[in-house]
Structure 1
């Protein structure tokens, strides 16, 4: 029996190699490289101003890179000399403003980028509008649709010419929270069905985790970490990477004999020289809370370390979890803990906290 060739033997649908873009002598995109395969969704995630949208514009061809190369299916479409025009790149674009033509019907908006006989274009329009559940609005106009419906029309229009690549720049930010999750899921399903390679720009970690097969975390014009969402979340490269996805607690310490002393006992700090100042970083949801038993807490364990005594400062219910702030006896620092559902201990109550060792990250200051 002959085995089929591995999927990854084919060139990536989209590949960018070492692209740079300078404004006023400053690199706003600095040596960025990415590979995205057909049917794959990659999220370019980072704060505003880190170079995400500039990267998208260079791929789309509306802006020229100063260094680097861009390939589609292994073929060069742009370097610093050669440039395929944007309209010939077979790349679809979706932005947060849906940019529908107000004077055109839904059908004419979706058909705008299509070529060929009128009957074929109409069939493609009807097919896509059925897929986004808008076929009954085919003869309506954009102003007659809700924001979510307009977004789905914009998606259908972008997919109509069967682009090999879809670039999406904060496409869901204009939608209210009630609509956003459902429309994101519908969009993702349709893009997968069309086998489109997708590069989605967002500053929302939840959106990246929900939609992406791969996350590229961007900061200061560079990709600082890249991988599956689970790996980026659980194996962050630095404190800023941890903090981008959630609130954090930070304990300052100094290495002595490959160990650091904390309110929660000793932590291993391999690879850090003695005298190095480090930060032990952990998320509020990983703090474990136990009750005081006549001045004592739970026994120390190898996995959770030494319990630390703390006093409740305040507790708030946030809808699907409770946030409790504690003041540590050890040094007066305030630590946060989140607990599923309702947990609202009164201020001034003494409790004991532990943090699993495998949920903590040690970074040099």
Structure 2
């Protein structure tokens, strides 16, 4: 028999997660779009559900909000069951805030009335809360304005104020910044994150943009084909991807293929240690463009080999472009004709055909089993 925890044990264990999903499954027309998703978010934490379009992340958010019901699994809010096989709490009773990419402001209501929409207190208390939030989002002067009189960024801030007005325990945000001009987006993200942290709100943010997830999240849950394939802090997700597809989701990659023999794989950059791969197994060494180094040709002699970089490989420039903060240089390897990309800070525009030597940071490379499909492969080996 399971013994219930004492009050003292419960207090030591700490508060329950604000939002917890356990084994969520959902199918449409016989196709399972969410497959056993589990996650939890604590007070003041931002968890970003990141993945390509169609991976099931928005459906997961809708289930958390209560606007869709799961086929299996459980939703808990503050430790209390909100949705299970036997229980369903409707959206309006979940103390959950919602923000979407279209802002969804009521065009027939002025800004203050939009913010007041979900408030249930008295006129004085509501007025104080409206004034406080409009001041915090920098829109006090628009108190009596109509939504169509505001810019996209200003409308987004009104939508944020409206969602926060009832002091929800959890904020659910579905691509809330995708409709904003690029020039405004970073500033609005930072303002939104600061306000959410001040309110202590637990946030589930859905996005398909890795930069947005890296900028805003305390934890990223990378989703693919209805499943969470990897979760962790942004730094850990980026520097230790679970497979080649995870690495490629965050940046361009170069892939050098080879065959592991005796736990070594020969490449144009020398031999790589590939422990854990069977003898004769095909492997892929994944290198991000920023981790390729460039050195000038010295009468056909490259830079000396080092344990960190291995040997240099000769290549010729195909094209070079300046992208604003860095230069992107494409090369064709002389050994096997493969095209690889390198990025260089500032302006570096060598002419097409220029022979150069490429080196790489071995500690920044990943080794995976050769892909059989877009998402195949296990975790990276050490190099």
TM-score category (smaller protein): over 0.9
Q: Deviations over 1:150-181 (max 9, x none)?
A: 00000000000000000000000000011000
Residues 354/65 of structure 1: CA separation in 2 closer, same or farther (3 Å cut): same
Offset at residue 6 of structure 1 (A):
9.4
Mapping 1:1-365, distance limit 5 Å: 9-365=14-370
Output the TM-score relative to the length of structure 2: 0.93
* Contact 1:64–1:80, Cα closer than 8 Å, also in 2: no
Q: Residues 123 and 76 (structure 1 numbering): CA distance in 2 closer, same or farther, change over 3 Å?
A: same
Q: Deviations over 1:15-50 (max 9, x none)?
A: 100100011222100000001000000100000000
1: CA distance, partners of 2:158 / 2:356: 54
* Aligned alpha-carbon RMSD (Å): 1.1
User: 1: distance between equivalents of 2:13 and 2:26?
Assistant: 29
Q: Measure, in 1, the Cα distance between the counterparts of 2:113 and 2:75.
A: 32
CA contact (8 A) 1:14 1:73 kept: yes
| Unmatched segments (≥5 aa) in structure 1 | none
Instruction: Give the length in aligned residue pairs.
Output: 361
In 1, distance between residues paired with 2:135 and 2:31?
A: 47
Deviation, 1:96, is 0.2
- Distance, in Å, in 1 between the alignment partners of 2:85 and 2:56 is 19
Shift of 1:9: 2.4
For 1:118 and 1:347, the matched residues in 2 are separated by 70
Q: Deviations over 1:52-89 (max 9, x none)?
A: 00000000001000010011111111112210111000
Greater shift after overlay, 74-83 or 338-347?
Answer: 74-83
Q: Per the alignment, in what secondary structure is the counterpart of residue 314 of structure 1?
A: strand
TM-score of the pair, normalised by structure 1: 0.98
Aligned-partner SS, 1:83: coil
Are the structure 2 counterparts of residues 7 and 238 from structure 1 closer, same or farther at C-alpha, using a change threshold of 3 Å?
A: farther
Residue by residue over 1:137-157, the C-alpha shift from the partner in whole angstroms, topping out at 9 and shown as x without a partner, is: 000010110000000000000
Alignment check: 8 A CA contact 1:310 1:327 kept: yes
1:187-222 CA-to-partner distances (Å, cap 9, x unmatched) read 000000000000000000000000000000000000
**Alpha-carbon distance in structure 1 between the residues aligned to 2:160 and 2:234:** 24
1:285 CA displacement: 0.6
- Structure 1 residues 106-148: Cα deviation after superposition (integer angstroms, max 9, x where no partner): 0000000000211111110000000000011000010110000
